[in-house]
Amino acid sequence: MDKRNAFYPGQVWLDTNGNRIQAHGGSVITVDGVYYWYGENKEKTDGKNGIWHWGVRCYSSTDLYNWEDQGIIIPPEPEDKNSSLHPSACMDRPHIIYNKRTKKYVCWLKIMNQDRTQSETVLTADHILGPYTKIREGLRPLGMSAGDFDLAVAEDGKAYYYFERVHSETICADLTEDYTDVTGYYSTHFPHHEGPPYVREATAHFFRKGRHYLLTSGTTGYLPNPSEVAVADTWHGPYRVLGDPHVGDPSGTSFHSQISSVFQVPGKKDLYIACADRWLPQAMDKEYEVYREMFEMVFSGREEGFDFSRMGEPVVENTSLADYVWLPLRFDGEMVYIDWRDSWSLEEYE
């Protein structure tokens, strides 16, 4: 197949074998000059068969456009119904960081448990492609139900864990030296005691010119909503909310996507890429239109006036067909903007 030489947000993205890329809720990490993109493998998730995931899949690239399938680096465990890696377990948003002191790659996974609480599974490996060994399972960091998250490492090697305390607030917690647990020191941000859709999730952290940024979404499941950007001078804040970065999006859906991570491209001039999933591209028309009206009413405190029967039949969450929306960040002072681009290339940032 022809090689790509640009990004095409929202279009089907195939690997070098001609198959859909399955790295959802994912991130990109650079190892020895090679890019590795990993995420949830949804190839078997049709929304009907009870399969939530089929492990964590990883791809490699030298140009960020063309990705070679490196296979499943954290396999599912279909024989163990009690495993957090059983295909029916709601495993989301893998994040991998490298510990220079222990020389280990450390992966955290969010797990939605049967009682609707959320916990973490932590694994380590000697190489980005594995094999990975479980270190912790059923971890409730700080005794909390921990949802969507991001991991980040400071220049001095100290690591931090940003997560949604489910339906409550955002937490920034210090990690232990080996990155496999929390120390107990933490700070709280964006408290929303009224619950979804106000609570912030899908936290993506990045650092630029002495400032820490958090990009988050509201809590509305796979249906997208307005993103929010916040900035602080330190890892633990306090964070100031700056607003929705998707200023050119009249739909209020973050261009029908949800950001999973922000990747700073090494060697490029001030290039940060917001890596987002378009979870339900098959439901972008009528369902989004009605949903958007509902969302506006909820945010204005008028949800009791909405006819929820208009939502019709539930959308089949066939996330095996989910697409990706990768867009560059644009900066104006401390504000962050994300503009829609039908296509764009790295050469614009030499």
pLDDT tier, 197 (very low <50, low <70, confident <90, very high otherwise):
confident
What pLDDT does 290 receive?
64
11-48 residue pLDDT tens: 999 999 999 999 999 999 999 999 999 999 999 999 99
Give tens-digit pLDDT for 255-271: 999 999 999 999 999 99
Instruction: Name the pTM for this structure.
Output: 0.94
Region 306-317: mean pLDDT is: 59
Residue 140, pLDDT > 60, answer yes
| Beta strand spans in the chain (E) | 24-31, 34-40, 56-61, 68-74, 90-99, 104-112, 118-125, 133-139, 146-153, 159-165, 169-175, 182-189, 201-208, 211-217, 228-232, 240-243, 258-264, 272-278, 323-332, 335-338
Give the tens place of pLDDT for each residue, 216-234: 999 888 888 899 999 999 9
Instruction: Give me the sign of the Cα torsion angle 293, 275, 124, 212.
Output: negative
DSSP 255-314: TT-EEEEEEEPTTSTT-EEEEEEE--GGGTTHHHHHHHHHHHHHHTT-GGGS-GGGG-SP
Please state which of the ranges 31-35, 181-185, 266-270, 287-291 shows the lowest mean pLDDT.
287-291
**Mean pLDDT across 42-68:** 97
pLDDT band at 210 (very low <50, low <70, confident <90, very high): very high
Q: How far is CA 152 from CA 99, 218, 222, 251, in A?
A: 11, 21, 25, 31
